[in-house]
Structures are given as structure tokens and as C-alpha cells.
Amino acid sequence: MIHEVPPEEFQPKFEVVSCYVEHEGKLLLLHRCAHKTEGNTWGVPAGKVEIGEDMYQAMLRELREETGIVASKVSMEHLIKVFVRYPTYDFTYHMFRLPMVDRPSIRLTPIEHQDFTWATPAHALEMNLIRDLDACIGMFYPAV
């Protein structure tokens, strides 16, 4: 469950970053490989912040590793920091937005993702999304 303020006794195990890559009103969605946690679901480029990284460095690294997109800190907008509580652990979650004028060429990492698509926020909500992504999309694309 997503919280805008830390819930009682919140003890994050790690930090996660994710990014809404936007092009012409559509979002880039990545199809997770079956062997991954929550496999065969759709999500946005995301991953854990590694030791020694700040949230921007982590997001730029994840974008590059998962999609081949090379972006800069100034091209991204940090949208919000939220607090996620799952039944067995908590984590801090940073969401970014990266608007793109030109449609980027996508190069997937085959051990992580099996496909990608561009979908409107409304169409994304009809897809088999990774846990809580529907709530996150609703936070920033309320017209859906």
C-alpha cells in the first residue's frame, strides 16, 4: 500500500526509483520476464538505489540499463517520494517523469524484460500491471 507520509513504525529495507517516460501522450511500459518477482506484469523503468548513489544517479542508471535511454538529471522531474508498505517489508519509492520530444529507440535487457510498449495512461490501467502501479499512475494522470 502506498502512503504519502510514513506509516507507523515504517522501516524501509531499501529505496526504489521509477520513471514515467512520456512521448506523445503515451507512457513506456516494460514487460517483466516470467522468472522475475511479479513476472509477466507491466511496469515502468525502475530499480533499487545502490549504495553510494543518489536517487537521480540511480534513475539515470536504471533507464540506461533497462531501456538504453541516456538522459540527464535536468531532463527529469522528480514527482514525489512515497512510502510503500508490503506485508513483509517497507520501502521508500521515488517517482520521476521524463518527457521526450523524439521517440527513443528502446534496447531491452533480455534477462529483465521481454517486451515493451507505449500506452496511454488509460490503456495502461487495463493491462496486467506490477503491484500498485495503477495507484501511482492515478496520482499523476488523474484524467484516466
- pLDDT tens-place string over residues 23-65: 999 999 999 999 988 989 999 999 999 999 999 999 999 999 9
Q: Which residues of 42-62 are buried (b: 16+ CB within 10 A; e: fewer)?
A: bbbbbbebeeebebbebbbeb
On the question of pLDDT at 142 being above 80, the answer is no
What are the pLDDT digits (tens) for 105-130?
999 988 999 999 999 999 999 999 99
pLDDT digits (tens, 9 = 90+) for 79-107: 999 999 999 999 999 999 999 999 999 99
- pLDDT over 60 at 144, yes or no: no
Domain 2-140, CATH: 3.90.79.10
Identify the pLDDT of residue 143: 66
Domain boundaries, the chain: 2-140
Q: 3-state SS of 59-121?
A: HHHHHHHHHCCCCCHHHCEEEEEEEEECCCCEEEEEEEEEECCCCCCCCCCCCCEEEEEEECH
